[in-house]
Amino acid sequence: MVVLRRVERSVGTDGGAKPFLKWVGGKRSLLPQLLPHVPERFGTYHEPFLGGAALFFHLARTRPPFRARLSDTNERLVRTYLAVRDRVEEVIVLLASYPHDPEFFAELRARDIDDRSDVEVAAWLVYLNHTGYNGLYRVNSRNRFNVPFGAYARPRYCNPALLRAASRALASAHIEAGGFERVAARARRGDFVYFDPPYVPLTATSAFTAYTRDGFGHDAQQRLRDVARALKGRGVRVLLSNSSAPAVHELYRDGFELVTIGARRAVSCRADGRGPIAELIIR
């Protein structure tokens, strides 16, 4: 616990890049357990389940210069990273013009945001992420964002220093929308891939797989295992996170090393409330 607090403080106070979105399953609090498994040296870093990009931002701060390929199936999320990388000052100006009140939240939430520019998508996502309940990203069957207003006293959705630091870290990163399978064609011997998929639910009542409209079922978990195995066979270093559900132990039984770690979730995955749950690091 002491170690965890020390790392979080150093990530937060040196003016360096760190996640500018709260993301379910975000790995900031697990960095101390993940970092010992990151190779000393690697070619390109690949993060195909990008979310809040906690490990990417940490490596960008601590291992520059550094090549990265980042992707996610959530197109709004990807467009947000592209705008923060390429047009951060416009994103900041737009966010600074947004008031913090429930009426504006409701109006922004209802916009047909996919028809707008990347800058508008980024401001939309950052604002809703910081002012919506619990930082959730949740959409209905029509891809409409449906998280309620969070009623926080002073949410910091417009944080120019944080956004500019993220922009610098992303400057040379390749960012694209797409499924994790693409990494199989992109990664080369000596590269490093971190897979942080939606987790296999620990129990039937604890599922939180609705990151996108598509969900992420057992077939996808199997395809992911197969991609990871193929990459390892080609000399690519891989690291995966997942829950410690029996199905995960079964999937990675042959040819992988499994390390159990404790984790505390920002959004509980447990039917009985918040608290530490076991997770696996797989390599």
- Which residues of the chain form contacts with ligand SAM (CB under 6 A)? 23, 25-27, 48-54, 72-74, 179-180, 196-198, 211-212, 216, 220
In this structure, are residues 24 and 266 in contact, taking their beta carbons and an 8 Å threshold?
yes
CB of 104 to ligand SAM, least distance (A): 26
In this structure, are residues 165 and 18 in contact, taking their beta carbons and an 8 Å threshold?
yes
Q: How many C-beta atoms lie closer than 10 Å to residue 130's C-beta?
A: 20
Q: Cβ-closest residue to ligand SAM?
A: 51
- Counting Cβ atoms within 10 Å, is residue 215 exposed (0-12), middle (13-18) or buried (19+)? exposed
Q: Which is nearer to ligand SAM, 23 or 105 (CB)?
A: 23
Q: Which is nearer to ligand SAM, 127 or 198 (CB)?
A: 198
Which one, of 19, 7, 8, 3, lies nearest residue 196 by Cα? 19
Q: Which is nearer to ligand SAM, 93 or 244 (CB)?
A: 244
Q: How many C-beta atoms lie closer than 10 Å to residue 174's C-beta?
A: 13
Phi, psi of 220 (to 5 degrees): -65, -40
Q: Which is nearer to ligand SAM, 102 or 178 (CB)?
A: 178
CB of 27 to ligand SAM, least distance (A): 4
Q: How many C-beta atoms lie closer than 10 Å to residue 158's C-beta?
A: 20
Q: Which is nearer to ligand SAM, 167 or 212 (CB)?
A: 212
CB of 197 to ligand SAM, least distance (A): 6
Which one, of 56, 74, 75, lies nearest residue 168 by Cα? 56
Q: Which two tokens stand for residue 230?
A: 């193929």
Q: State how far the Cα of 228 lies from the Cα of 236, in Å rounded to an integer.
A: 9
- Counting Cβ atoms within 10 Å, is residue 276 exposed (0-12), middle (13-18) or buried (19+)? exposed
CB of 54 to ligand SAM, least distance (A): 3
> How many contiguous H segments (helices) and E segments (strands) does the chain have?
11, 7
Quote the longest CA-to-CA distance of the chain: 54
Q: Which is nearer to ligand SAM, 101 or 181 (CB)?
A: 181
Q: Which is nearer to ligand SAM, 51 or 105 (CB)?
A: 51
CB of 237 to ligand SAM, least distance (A): 17
CB of 71 to ligand SAM, least distance (A): 6
CB of 7 to ligand SAM, least distance (A): 14
CB of 222 to ligand SAM, least distance (A): 12
Q: Which is nearer to ligand SAM, 108 or 139 (CB)?
A: 139
Taken in order 164, 170, 176, 178, the sign of the CA dihedral is: negative
